[in-house]
Amino acid sequence: MSDSNLPQDTLICKPTTWFLWRVLAMLVMFSVFAVLFLKDGIWGYRDKNLHFFMHHTFVEAGKAFQAKQSDGLLTEDSWKTYAASQTCFFPENGAEILPKDVDLAMPWPDALVDGYSLMKDKGGQNGANKLWEDYTAARGWDAEAAEEPMQANKITEQFVAAAVAFALILGTLFILFRTMRRTIKADHDALYTQDGRKILYSDMVRIDKRKWDTKGIALVYYSDQGEEKKAKIDGMVYGQFKEEDGAPAEKLFSRVMEHFKGEVLEYVDDEDDEAEDQEDLVEADKTS
């Protein structure tokens, strides 16, 4: 039934700003997660891997320098010739885990090729470490490298996680748009639920208001062609309880209680409350 066909004194509870801000907060959270996961999948983890393997290259260069120095035949020219012929220590699956624009046959950086004097003075490993510090400073990198590279499956996981986050965004948007088009109404004959059901007061058999004072939730049990069904009045989502707005949800529920003649459940213990909280989570999407 459209609002125009209802009696003038019909109470109408529309979606609340509390609900809107809550959903917007969820959208922001899911969006941040989606962007971060996507960022790590596209370039974040790949850049970390490049950092790891470049550091590994400097470490191996230091070891090679020490080994050649031990032979007693190492000169600056021979080191330059050797270093200029080397390529960075990238893995066989480098195309899967390194940035797309990285040349997998990348030669050693000039810092290593021209690093003979420094490594001779400080020793192969210490010299290579100093060259690495200078190299990372020039590139704006952190000098400390990760202990292990990110494997291909970890990169794939970021895309899966991003897809889940985008699915949650779509689901949240669906709930938002659906809820914003809905209302809960009550006239002197019936309650009109957010999903379009008309429940006559005479068909109501039981009202569970044990969570009304604490959570703004009441459950209405009613008979529909001999079958007992349930509807939820959620005052936090529809109407709310702000006194400056006239407490629409409280007014609507008071009207329902005014016309209801059946059983009322008013008290709850901790075990019942926990069990019903789980039930509410299952039915939340159905009744929003």
**Residue 97: which of 24, 32, 28, 44 has the closest Cα?**
44
Neighbours of 208 (CB within 10 A): 19
In this predicted structure, what is the pLDDT of residue 9?
86
Q: In angstroms, rounded to a whole number, what is the distance separating the alpha carbons of residues 287 and 9? A: 25
At 59, list the tokens: 């470490």
Angle in degrees, CA 98, 101, 107, rounded to 5 = 80
Residue type, 248: P
Identity (one letter) of the amino acid at 93? N
pLDDT over threshold 70, residue 286: no
CA dihedral 163, 165, 169, 171 (to 10 degrees): 80
pLDDT of 279 > 70? The answer is no
Q: Name residues whose C-beta falls within 8 Å of residue 271's C-beta, 6 or more positions apart in sequence.
A: none
- Give 208's pLDDT tier (boundaries 50, 70, 90): very high
Angle at 207 between CA 202 and CA 212, to 5 degrees: 135
**Whether the predicted pLDDT of 267 surpasses 70:** yes
186-207 pLDDT, tens per residue? 999 999 999 999 999 999 999 9
The confidence band for 72, taking pLDDT boundaries of 50, 70 and 90, is confident
What are the tens digits of pLDDT across the range 117-164?
999 999 999 999 999 999 999 999 999 999 999 999 999 999 999 999
Does residue 260 carry a pLDDT above 80?
A: yes
Rounded average pLDDT over 247-254: 97
Distance CA 250, CA 241 (A): 6
Give me the pLDDT at residue 116, please.
Answer: 95
Residue 3 has pLDDT above 90, yes or no: no
| Angle subtended by helix axes 17-39 and 152-180, to nearest 10 | 160
Distance in angstroms (rounded) separating the CA atoms of residues 14 and 182: 7
Q: Render pLDDT for 19-68 as a digit per residue (tens, 0 to 9).
A: 999 999 999 999 999 999 999 999 999 999 999 999 999 999 999 999 99
Sign of CA dihedral 184, 185, 186, 191: negative
Q: How far apart are CA 50 and CA 66, in angstroms?
A: 25
The per-residue pLDDT for 8 is: 75
> Is this model's pTM higher than 0.75 or not?
yes
The values of phi and psi at residue 138, to 5°, are -70, -30
C-alpha to C-alpha distance for 156 and 247, rounded to whole angstroms: 50
pLDDT at 277 over 80: no
Q: Work out the pLDDT band at 282, boundaries 50, 70, 90.
A: very low
Measured in whole angstroms, the distance separating CA 93 from the mean position of its chain's CA atoms is 30
What are the chain's domains? 28-159 (no CATH), 183-287 (2.30.29.30)
The reported pLDDT for the residue numbered 284 is 45
What pLDDT, in 10s, does the model give residues 221-244? 999 999 999 999 999 999 999 999
Among the residue ranges 112-116, 142-146, 209-213, 283-287, the one predicted with the least confidence is 283-287
- At 235, give phi and psi (nearest 5°): -70, -20
Please report which confidence band the pLDDT of residue 212 belongs to, taking 50, 70 and 90 as the band edges.
Answer: very high
| 8 A C-beta contact, residue 186 and residue 256 | yes
pLDDT at 273: 56
User: Has residue 1 got a pLDDT over 60?
Assistant: no
Q: Dihedral of CA 138/143/148/150: which sign? A: negative
pLDDT recorded at residue 73: 82
